[in-house]
Amino acid sequence: MTTNQLFALFSDLALLLVLAHLLGMVARRLSQPAVIGEVLAGIALGPTFLGHTVSDFLFPTGIRPMLTALADVGMAVFMFIVGLELDRGLLRGTGRLAVTVSVSSIVLPFGLGALLALLLVDGNAPDHRLGFVLFMGTAMAVTAFPVLARILTDRKMQHTAVGGLALACAAIGDVLAWCMLAAVVALVGGADADQWYLLLLVPYAAVMLWVVRPLLRGLVGADGAARLSPTALTVVLAGLLMSGAVTERIGLHFIFGAFFFGVVMPKESTGQLRADITERIGHMSSHLLLPVFFISVGLKVDLSNLGRSGWLDFTLILLVAVSGKFLGAFLSARAHGVTARQSAVLATLMNTRGLTELIILTAGLQLGVLNERLYSLMVAMAVVTTAMAGPLLSLLQPHTAADHDLLPARDPRSPTTGR
């Protein structure tokens, strides 16, 4: 790297960290998730507000690959923590209601998203038509578990019946959504690569479950009472990166490898050890890597020259995203006897998308399923639907924790919670 490139890289990193932090604080003051302010910081530095000339001056072409690489590492670390904190207790014994609401809040928006994709496919000319249709359905079906958990905590709803149900539904929905995205990535990636690599998924999963997991249990211990040693931290970091590298090589996106490594981490380690992992790795991701990711997202978003057709497409995307998720969860909950108000609260919570949606959209852009125009519209949809949740909940449930039927729920206070 030249001196000018190093100067640009370090000064840009300083700028984006400060701006993302400041706008994240503003978002929290407005009772919004921090991700809203952080994404807006990225968009503010991109061509939407500054134009391509100024944006390219601030972030020269020569350093953008380095920013993208840092952003990819941030995505990998975040997905590892999501997998680590996936509470299997929420997936067991959730009952017919949670399963039905989860499936309904995925199937309906997936179907509507696929139909919308058929309307948009010609105008956006994706590289993979079938992959585009399936991807749009998957992107519409996402709920951001970390954002939902933070909203529940801020409103003191995490131990209420509707809060516990929402967490269970989001956990089940996360698993289903990532499985659907994995299928889309395999379909799209297989068209450009040697498809026999996908056969390695089976031995990869077997090694992770029956070799890596026992080794990790032996390394970190079964009770989770010990502090995280430097050796264990090194193994965890190297493991999540290597797992991501393997899935990237065999035809899946690296986010699945990082996520799966978090899933196979011994869940018995629920004490000090897991807290150490999320604190020491999560804070590094939250304060450095994820802000870089948000900037990389914003630099690709350009809403300045959409025109009438572009805003019409955005309106359709937003309508499908909100109505599909809301109706899927609301109608299913009502069919099981949940009151109209609590069904609406649940449906509103399931409409939060946050960082999870941004990661999926970025994967779609990297795969060539989305072009930059549609990517910009989908990012705008993710920001709007996430920002809607708080005000809508205030209208539907003005008194926090109004539902006193307590349910066990996870502690959502991790460094990445709220994104």
* Per-residue pLDDT, 134: 92
**Are the C-beta atoms of 190 and 198 separated by less than 8 Å?**
yes
Q: How far is CA 374 from the centre of its chain?
A: 18
**Sign of dihedral through CA atoms 416, 393, 382, 86?**
positive
| Tokens matching residue 132 | 């585009």
How far is 132 from 120, CA to CA, in rounded Å?
10
Give the burial class of 127: count Cβ atoms within 10 A of its Cβ; 0-12 exposed, 13-18 middle, 19 or more buried: middle
**Are the C-beta atoms of 224 and 271 separated by less than 8 Å?**
yes
* Per-residue pLDDT, 122: 80
pTM: 0.84
* Per-residue pLDDT, 128: 79
How far is 383 from 379, CA to CA, in rounded Å?
6
In single-letter form, the type of residue at position 222 comes to A
Q: DSSP state, 199?
A: G
User: What are the Cα distances from residue 185, in Å, to 51, 73, 126, 192, 373?
Assistant: 32, 19, 14, 11, 20
**Are the C-beta atoms of 404 and 160 separated by less than 8 Å?**
yes
How far is 152 from 145, CA to CA, in rounded Å?
11
* Per-residue pLDDT, 62: 85
User: Residues 227, 244, 91, CA angle at the centre, nearest 5°?
Assistant: 70
Q: Is 268 helix (H, G, I), strand (E, B) or coil?
A: coil
Give the number of residues written for the chain: 419
Residue (of 240, 94, 278) closest to 175 by Cα position: 94
Phi, psi (rounded to 5 degrees) for 135? -65, -45
Tens of pLDDT along the chain (419 residues) come to 788 889 988 998 998 889 888 998 998 888 888 888 888 888 888 888 888 888 888 888 888 889 889 989 988 988 888 888 776 655 555 567 888 888 999 999 999 999 999 999 887 766 778 889 999 999 999 888 777 877 887 777 767 888 888 888 888 887 788 888 888 888 876 555 556 666 788 899 899 999 999 888 887 765 445 566 788 888 889 999 999 999 888 877 888 899 899 888 886 655 566 677 777 887 778 888 888 888 888 888 988 888 888 899 999 999 999 999 999 999 999 998 888 999 999 999 999 888 889 889 998 998 888 989 999 999 999 999 989 888 898 888 765 444 444 333 344 445 555 56
Q: DSSP state, 63?
A: T
The domain 69-291+305-396: what is its CATH number? 1.20.1530.20
How far is 321 from 111, CA to CA, in rounded Å?
11
